């Protein structure tokens, strides 16, 4: 059997490994030993037990895949390198995702990268009287909503560098979010960015001084592409994304596919998009094996669901914007359905 290596066990990597393990000798490399429903991780900061609902060990849903727990430092056209360990491959799928970049290193600043990180911050949230959230995109808005929904007594400040929240969303969604947060006494500071910090004092580029016992940094997402630097630096664009063909193959590399957040496909980097790309990448490895024409990945409108606490939310699809309890319930159903697929090996969409 030909050897397939998958780097990253998120939505794209987990999907690819599970789809291919019956037909190839698959090795999954991940920095964590579990799959995580990332759209649900923010709930863990206010409800730590939610973690059990959104995580499942890789070994639980993969029956024939070899799992390697570690971080890839570099790779070539023939092998992946983790320290002294070298793993050869015939096909490589890079699905290492993205992360929040921290320009300031302080113990009271938290990056919402993983559920475990947020779960461990639960105590800090309980203790903090005032909390600053930097970034008014989907993650920042959802996090603010979670905190004021569960802890209405907390003083929450939301710092955003633009003049509206959710700037890539319809006006109806922007207005709804702003009204939701303001009704719950969230102070929103527009057109300002965090510039520096001194203990619990943070300073914006507009000269404002903010006292915050806890800060969540929800801006500055960067692709996890550091391990491309040594041998494939020319494949990175100015955003550190990997340049790919419409087939999701890395430019100039027939047997290397780059899937999800870290490629330069112009679309919202969501779990849904990652899975759609993974589907095409899987079809293309079979096409390569059969000597057939490869499939192209086309960006299409997708449903976006933004949760606002437990009982409110926004659903966006093309020109439709739906608000209220229905989107919140829908997001819960999607989470439940996804985890069912991973908890029971025989069930797979």
- Measured distance CA(264)–CA(283) in Å, rounded: 20
Spatial separation of the C-alpha atoms in residues 251 and 271, rounded to whole Å: 23
In the predicted model, what is the mean pLDDT of the chain? Answer: 93
Q: What's the rounded mean pLDDT across residues 250-256?
A: 97
Residue 309 domain flag = no
Indicate if 235 and 194 belong to the same structural domain.
no
Domain boundary among 162, 189, 217: 217
Check if the beta carbon of residue 80 is closer than 8 Å to that of residue 29.
yes
Question: Which of 198, 217, 236 is the endpoint of a domain?
Answer: 217
Q: Which of 101-105, 129-133, 297-301, 302-306 has the lowest mean pLDDT?
A: 101-105
**CATH code at 107?**
3.50.50.60
Q: How many domains in the chain?
A: 2
Which residues face 165 on adjacent strands? none
| Residue written as token pair 């300031």 | 104
Is residue 313 one of the residues assigned to a domain? no
- Residue 96: is its pLDDT beyond 50? yes
Q: Is residue 164 part of a domain?
A: yes
The residue from 280, 301, 322 where one domain ends is 301
Q: Does residue 254 carry a pLDDT above 80? A: yes
> Does one domain contain both 79 and 12?
yes
Separation CA 76–CA 87 (nearest Å): 10
**304-340: burial string, b at 16+ Cβ within 10 Å, e else:** bbbbbbbebbbbbeeeebbbeeebbebbbebbeebbe
Contact 345, 321 (CB under 8 A): no
- The pLDDT tens digits of the residues spanning 128-174 come to 999 999 999 999 999 999 999 999 999 999 999 999 999 999 999 99
Q: In 10 A of CB 230, how many CB atoms?
A: 12
213 shares a domain with 111? yes
Domain range for 157 is 102-217
276 with 185, same domain: the answer is no
What residues contact residue 199 under an 8 Å CB cut-off, 6+ apart?
none
Q: Is residue 50 a part of any domain in this protein?
A: yes
CA separation for the pair 233, 38 (Å, rounded): 28
């Amino acid at each position: 059997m030909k050897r397939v290596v998958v780097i990253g066990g998120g939505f794209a990597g987990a999907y690819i490994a599970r789809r291919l393990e019956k037909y190839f000798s698959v090795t999954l490399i991940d920095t964590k030993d579990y799959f995580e429903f990332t759209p649900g991780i923010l709930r863990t900061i206010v409800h730590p037990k939610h973690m059990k609902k959104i995580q499942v060990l890789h070994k639980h849903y993969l029956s024939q895949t070899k799992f390697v727990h570690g971080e890839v430092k570099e790779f070539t056209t023939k092998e992946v390198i983790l320290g002294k360990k070298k793993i050869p491959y015939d096909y490589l799928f890079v699905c290492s995702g993205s992360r929040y970049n921290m320009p300031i290193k302080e113990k009271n600043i938290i990056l919402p990268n993983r559920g475990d990180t947020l779960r461990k911050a639960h105590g800090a949230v309980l203790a903090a009287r005032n909390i600053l959230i930097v970034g008014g995109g989907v993650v920042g808005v959802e996090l603010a909503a979670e905190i004021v929904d569960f802890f209405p007594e907390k003083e929450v400040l939301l710092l955003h560098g633009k003049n509206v929240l959710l700037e890539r969303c319809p006006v109806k969604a922007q207005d709804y979010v702003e009204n939701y947060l303001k009704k719950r006494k969230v102070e929103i500071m527009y057109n300002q960015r965090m510039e520096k910090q001194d203990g619990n004092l943070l300073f914006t580029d507009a000269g404002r001084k903010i006292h915050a016992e806890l800060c969540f940094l929800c801006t500055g997402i960067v692709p996890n592409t550091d391990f491309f630097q040594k041998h494939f630096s020319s494949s990175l664009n100015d955003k550190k994304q990997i340049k790919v063909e419409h087939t999701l193959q890395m430019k100039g590399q027939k047997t290397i596919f780059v899937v999800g957040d870290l490629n330069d496909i112009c679309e919202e980097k969501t779990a849904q998009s990652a899975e759609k790309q993974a589907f095409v990448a899987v079809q293309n490895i079979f096409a390569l094996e059969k000597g057939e024409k490869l499939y192209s990945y086309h960006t299409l409108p997708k449903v976006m669901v933004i949760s606002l606490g437990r009982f409110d939310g926004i659903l966006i699809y093309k020109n439709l914007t739906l608000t209220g309890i229905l989107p919140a319930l829908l997001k819960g159903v999607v989470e439940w359905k996804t985890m069912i697929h991973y908890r029971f090996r025989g069930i797979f969409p």
